[in-house]
Chain A
Amino acid sequence: MKKPNSKDQASSYRKLTRRALVVGGLQLGFAGLLGLRMRYMQVEQADQFRLLAEENRINIRLIAPSRGELFDRNGVPLARNAPSYRVVVVREDAGDVDEVINHLGQLIRLDPGETEQALAEIKRSAPFLPVTLADRVSWEDVSRVAVNAPALPGISPEVGLTRVYPHGPDLAHVIGYVGPVSDYDLQKIEDPEPVLRIPRFQIGKVGLEARQEELLRGKAGAKRVEVNATGRVMRELDRREGQPGADLQLTVDIGLQSYVQARLGDESAAAVVIDCENGDLRAIVSSPSFDPNLFVRGISVADYRSLTEDKHRPLANKSVQGAYPPGSTFKMVTALAALEAGVISNNDTVWCPGYLEVSGRRFHCWKHGGHGHVDLINSLKQSCDVYYYDVAMQVGIDKISDMAKTLGIGVRHELPMSAVARGLAPNRAWKQENYNKTWLIGDTANAAIGQGYVLASPLQLAVMTARIATGRSVTPRLVKSIDGIEQPSGAGEPMGINENHLRQVRKGMFAVSNDRRGTGYRSRIAEDTMQMAGKSGTSQVRNITKAERAAGVISNNDLPWERRDHALFVGFAPADRPKYAVAVVVEHGGGGSSAAAPILRDVLLQALYDGTPPLEAYPSSDRERIREQQEKLQQERIDRENQRKTSDRA
């Protein structure tokens, strides 16, 4: 169809060349534009983009510090950080998550509720993030998972640290426990540290763990990591190690502590052992106790309810929180106040007919028939109430109250434990302030024998005993050293009480335990070098009416438990060079000399011998019974040990 001529050809060639040059020019122009754009972005705006790039890729991650550990005075661990195993799944490696979890369920026991939660979390989170399927997995289960690893894609065991209290209930009230940070905790803390927001981070909830949280927690470290677009960590750029929490050594002797716990048994009771020389608290026991490990794990509702509904209140730390009327154990305070005031001397006697008429009201002595002529030593030995009614009338409440405070009652001892009770040493001003009533003479009579408004915790009673025993204002100390640095001793300065007066009171206390007619004679220490001095106390929790008294006071054994008297006993030994002071309170235990004194004696001996005392230390009549008791306690401890081992394995 075409007959090309050369003219036509030449013109079309020229046109093609022209157009080719136009197109080529456009192309070069556009390429130049691209070059300019490149220059603009990479040279002019480079800094800005570089900044954006850094923000993109660098993330700061916190490293949780390892919590400080707790040891007893001999270096026995009381709270450790133990590895805890958990089984996690990574979705992107697992493939069919449901099937893999199903398979895992055939190997180890999975909690259906937890599994459901985990599945929900898997759906929410990034595919490369591990999600916990089972926490606190036993070593056996971990190995089972590891062995079957090929059949369980994406499943792997992980190890973390968790708090473990190897002695379980024995120190639960002192140490308390830790738990994961709750929203409630965060609300309470002003400007919470970022470390608290680490998932599963544990903080002290109760007791020493809570009170020394700052020390124990340490400082969080941080690492700068390079992350990719989805947040996966590619590599670590640098790392600033955190500072682990401080290790604390307590003054507690775990051997003694465990013994006392076992000795108190199921009683609702408390006992405190204090070192007279330096104020070290060798044992602070509240019974019954609970297993703090349950709380770390997350306690079940049933377990928690059984703890809160128990009449004996296992969760309460009775040794420092409990405030009891000290009863006759307060008589030393009244006596010392009177001696210091000079209203009595040791030879003065008071006639005890069994009661004292005070402004028209009759105050009874515990002994119906009365004690007859009573001097200071006898008044302590036989715990004559009338003697103290009488001297209290002379010395007045304010001096008694001051003496109580000097001896550590009604003042708060600063200890890193929860809710340390202040107790109460009432005086006129106090009553006016709190009740807007004038102090009555009857109030003084009641206070003189540690009833009425007077309140003291077992800790305060132990401190009081130590102060009477030494004449120095011994202050209790719970933390022996922090990271190896010894803490100030609680030996204290002399209280400024006449040594003669103290000696009189100690003599009376010695008589309580070692005189045939002393209220604590049956629970004496037979070993001559370790003889104890003590004082019994029985504090009423009810009023005894006139009619009741006339009909004969109902014996404690016939009363319902919660209406029985509290039994108290304080004591120290050896009497001539005091080493340990002890206070024992048995709630609703009945008489102090019968319920509390034997416990106190056993505890003192255990502390003095630093272990099971020989039977020779006991009065010969008791030895058979004591041997049985020692065997029984020994057996119980072995049983508990075994039980713990099996529960650890489970």
Chain B
Amino acid sequence: MSYLEYNVQSTPTGPRKILYLNWPLALLLCTVACVGFLQLYSVAGGSLYPWAEPQMKRFALGLTAMMMVAMVPIWFWRNMSVVAYLLSVILLIGVELMGIEGKGAQRWIDLGVIRLQPSELMKITLIMLLAAYYDWLPARRTSHPFWVLVPVMIILFPTYLVLRQPDLGTSILLLAAGGGMMFLAGVHWAYFAAVIASGVGLVSAVFESRGTDWQLIKDYQFRRIDTFLDPASDPLGAGYHITQSKIALGSGGWTGRGFMQGTQSRLNFLPEKHTDFIFTTLAEEFGFIGGISLLALYVLIIVFCIHTALATRDRYSSLITLGVAITFFLFFSVNMSMVMGLAPVVGVPLPMVSYGGSAMLVLMVAFGLVQSAHIHRPRGRRR
């Protein structure tokens, strides 16, 4: 279905579009963001600085960006997909060439006004391109080996660039989100079985490579894997993060220690308490009730996205919405698994809650696409 076939007259125009926004989704996002402000206020020891207030400003910026993206018809974004993807790839290469060192990894590119993380941008542009690709590709060719190879290349190239930075977390996210898109588009399940099988082979190869000249990943990544597998082996060294995180989270109990009473987080036992480990502080202060509530909010966001995706007849809209849902899901599930000791510490923020501009802005833009798809969904008589 091409955008020319939309019943353009039946889609809302002008400021009326705001009325057709997916309001429950927008409200859920705002709620989650507020949880983030609260937690950032708490980990700063009851202060808006240095995190809560900048985060609020960024959220306001993100909200504006979401609205702007939502106002623009979805077919425009579909046509922009290739450009957006290429731009992201160029930025990634730019990071490689001129990025500044940050935390032992080249991740940032300084644009003067903000420090941009092209890998964050990549997460959404990859989904856009894949959605556009499968919208364009006739369904019967979906499982053809050549037409499978093309999206695989589309996924692997930026993944490789991100891995080189090195940013393991984002690479995994890109890979998983890309794979998810391919699965949604209807690629034959046998491919996935094959990939999983070879993935197991690759993991063993990575472990095999340890200590040899052709070592595939960096030492610190190896150590993170080691301590994931056995955090108790080095409680004050590499396993410290996971151990401390589990202690803080577990000590929250049913109802938690109360707002601003999280001793572990406020006393700096927790690393990165305002970014990757913010969920731990929340779970410590608000307990199981608080943690499960945030999880429920996230699940609701996913549910609304899937509902939006299934409600539209436009293939691109469906795919992009589901892709955003997958990315969002990957964000919070990897982060939560990480802080609960179910996954290695790979540096994935908790979406909409963790302190950080790039990630939030990109997510809000992504939800802008979802909103745009919702507003500009085909209406009227089905043909």
Contact = CB atoms under 8 A, between A and B. Distances in A.
Given A8-B139, A15-B139, A39 B288 contact: yes
Contact of A16 (B185, B283, B329): B185
Nearest to B5: A4
Given A20-B309, A53-B248, A56-B269, A34 B295 contact: yes
A16 B250 contact: no
B267 A42 contact: no
Interface string B247-286: 1111111100000000110111100000000000001000
B248 A38 contact: no
A609 interface: no
Interface in B169-209: 180, 183-186
A227 B267 CA distance: 7
Given A16-B185, A38-B336, A42-B253, 18 more contacts: A8-B138, A15-B139, A16-B186, A20-B310, A24-B306, A27-B333, A28-B299, A38-B249, A39-B292, A41-B249, A42-B250, A46-B253, A46-B254, A50-B253, A53-B250, A56-B269, A57-B263, A57-B264
A20 B326 CA distance: 10
A103 interface: no
A229 B336 contact: no
B180 A23 contact: yes
A27 B302 contact: yes
Contacts of B318: 16, 20
A11 interface: yes
Interface string A1-21: 010101011011101110111
Given A38-B283, A46-B253, A57 B267 contact: yes
A49 B186 contact: no
B283 A34 contact: no
Given A20-B184, A34-B337, A229-B244, A53 B264 contact: yes
A228 interface: yes
B251 A38 contact: no
Contacts of B350: none
Contacts of A83: none
Nearest to B253: A46
Interface string B136-158: 10111000000000000000000
A404 to B, nearest CB: 69
Contacts of B252: 42, 46
A38 B269 contact: no
A228 B247 contact: no
B207 to A, nearest CB: 25
Q: Which 3 pairs across A and B sit closest by C-beta, in order of nearness?
A: A49-B250, A12-B139, A53-B251
Contacts of A35: 292, 295
A13 to B, nearest CB: 7
A301 interface: no
B292 A38 contact: yes
Given A2-B138, A43-B253, A46-B253, A19 B336 contact: no
B251 A52 contact: yes
A49 B267 contact: no
Query: Interface majority SS on B: helix, strand, loop or mixed?
Result: helix
B186 A228 contact: no
A53 B313 CA distance: 53
B51 interface: no
A252 to B, nearest CB: 53
Contacts of A50: 250-251, 253
Contacts of B183: 19, 22-23
A486 B201 CA distance: 88
B299 A38 contact: no
Nearest to B182: A19
A38 B333 contact: no
Interface of B: 1, 136, 138-140, 180, 183-186, 244, 246-254, 263-264, 266-269, 283, 287-288, 291-292, 295, 298-299, 302-303, 306, 309-310, 313, 315, 318-319, 322, 325-326, 329, 333, 336-337, 340, 342, 383
Contacts of A623: none
B348 to A, nearest CB: 14
Interface in A221-276: 226-230, 234
A549 interface: no
Interface of A: 2, 4, 6, 8-9, 11-13, 15-17, 19-24, 27-28, 30-31, 34-35, 37-39, 41-43, 45-46, 48-50, 52-53, 56-57, 226-230, 234
B127 to A, nearest CB: 13
Contact of B313 (A11, A13, A52, A234): A13
A345 to B, nearest CB: 90
Given A42-B291, A43-B288, A12 B186 contact: yes
A19 B288 contact: no
Nearest to A227: B267
B43 to A, nearest CB: 13
Nearest to A19: B184
A52 B284 CA distance: 13
Contacts of B244: 56, 229
6 contacts: A13-B315, A31-B302, A38-B292, A42-B283, A49-B246, A53-B251
Interface centre among A12, A28, A42, A56, by most B CB within 10 Å? A42
B340 A37 contact: yes
Nearest to A45: B250
B41 to A, nearest CB: 18
A151 to B, nearest CB: 28
Contact of A34 (B254, B269, B336): B336
A385 B1 CA distance: 141
Nearest to B264: A53
A53 B186 CA distance: 48
Contacts of A41: 246, 249-250, 340
Contacts of A230: 268
Nearest to B309: A20
Contacts of B247: 49, 52-53, 56
Contact of B329 (A20, A27, A53): A27
A82 B268 CA distance: 38
Contacts of B267: 56-57, 226-229, 234
Nearest to B186: A15
B340 A38 contact: yes
Contacts of B295: 31, 34-35, 38
Contacts of B140: 8
A446 to B, nearest CB: 75
B178 to A, nearest CB: 13
B291 A38 contact: yes
A56 B268 CA distance: 11
Contact of B315 (A16, A24, A57): A16
A20 B306 contact: yes
A4 B1 CA distance: 7
A31 B254 contact: no
B317 to A, nearest CB: 11
Nearest to A56: B269
A483 to B, nearest CB: 41
B339 to A, nearest CB: 10
Contact of B322 (A23, A31, A42, A228): A23
Contact of A226 (B138, B184, B263, B306): B263
Contacts of B287: 42
A227 to B, nearest CB: 7
A17 to B, nearest CB: 6
A12 B319 CA distance: 12
B264 A16 contact: no
Contacts of B292: 35, 38-39
B340 A34 contact: yes
Contacts of A6: 383
B322 A46 contact: no
A49 B322 contact: no
